[in-house]
Structure 1
């Protein structure tokens, strides 16, 4: 696959309109300038990944980012980044509470040999950072390289090699093999959001196995509706229709929905 064209703006000029939401663009400005201040000369670039990079981001999405750094943050840089992300979610406004992302070390990002190494990460809505492999996955770097939105910095294709199809497919198959158990280990089956998450992740992994690409949650659901067993369409339509309900710990899944989600995940693993 040919790399995407590089953005017209220069590495030192912040993209003023990375999304269609003016308030989110303001939050991203705060994020990038805060990261630049914390990192100094180690800052390389900042990018949108996830649903916004795939063209599916809306007010029901979190906003996934990746900041590339020259080397692992030292103690002072890490402390400054932790202070930034401890404060950001408590500012006024909607999008400050819906950021998620990692600080990727450039050498790790260059090739798939660096997959799985922990990066400094902040989870959706959290004000505490941790060292995590969460964003150092094949699908994350595929999205950044092929569809990432540059906030500031060089074109992402200049920072990383292409992700081979076989790496994406094999990681998706491995994920499907234990998906239900791993999701339910941290996401209670009594919460409707967890039922939807399980179905969506199974759809995304199956899509990747079949195509060697990565799709947004919405597009993966729709793809399986067309290309999967028609018997699963009612479940997939329910998950798609209920997306706007968001995450509510008191919102229970419809009767039998969690059982159907587990069965669907097993089906996806079998056909993969």
Structure 2
């Protein structure tokens, strides 16, 4: 039975119902279950969040199933409403999802708000496995712990450290430094990576930011407070950061990489 109230947003619950029933129809017997991971699973989802999902499948979709899924995701973002444009997630092959041995294999992936599916390893990462197992919200299907084995601490820590080495270049390679949202995103991603290195767990953007304020070097507190206070500004291409704010973000990311 489909979970009728997986989030506190009635509209989003309706969009998830359409996503799941559409996926079930497209996949038939290959459908295993559907789940929320990401910020909503971590208890931090709000109107500024995307809604991260995983639909678990028995095997890679065949040509007919893939075509039906592409049609579903081409339609969803063009419907009236807010949340239909803020879905992000993948069709996870069950054997890949089970252990870290399957990390990095490509799944059909819907980028945030996109109406096209691509093959990507975006969601096939250790932090997604960890959130799915430890905090995943079941929309329909088996309990997440029956689908995902525990993620070893060293895998989480090593991936977080590796990502920090190129974090600034990676983020600003797709997110222009002329947009204030990108300055905030860089800071928050550094906080999340540091949290994972120190705890071998995964935190939401909000909670990682707060944790960094408490446990990080006090010199960065004004920057972290600025990022927290500006969250409600959302993504606005015309909203530019000050040069000082972007310089501080770059310096903070470099400091996190060094101490991690």
Alignment TM class, shorter chain as reference: over 0.9
Equivalent residue in structure 2 for 1:174, among 157, 162, 180: 162
Equivalence for 1:142: 130
String of CA shifts for 1:57-80, please: whole Å, max 9, x gaps: 011111000000000000111110
List gaps (5 residues or longer) in structure 2. Answer: none
In the alignment, does 2:182 pair up with 1:186? no
Equivalence for 1:116: 104
C-alpha displacement at 1:248, in angstroms? 1.0
Structure 2: distance between partners of 1:36 and 1:149: 18
Moved over 6 A (4+): none
In the alignment, does 2:212 pair up with 1:232? no
Map residues 177-216 of structure 1 onto 2, 5 A cutoff: 177-216=165-204
Structure 2: distance between partners of 1:35 and 1:147: 22
Equivalence for 1:261: 249
In the alignment, does 2:73 pair up with 1:95? no
C-alpha displacement at 1:255, in angstroms? 3.3
Structure 1: distance between partners of 2:181 and 2:69: 30
Q: Give TM-score, length-normalised by structure 1.
A: 0.95
C-alpha displacement at 1:254, in angstroms? 2.5
Q: Give TM-score, length-normalised by structure 2.
A: 0.99
DSSP-derived class of the 1:256 partner:
helix
List gaps (5 residues or longer) in structure 1. Answer: 1-12
CA contact (8 A) 2:132 2:148 kept: no
Structure 2: distance between partners of 1:256 and 1:119: 39
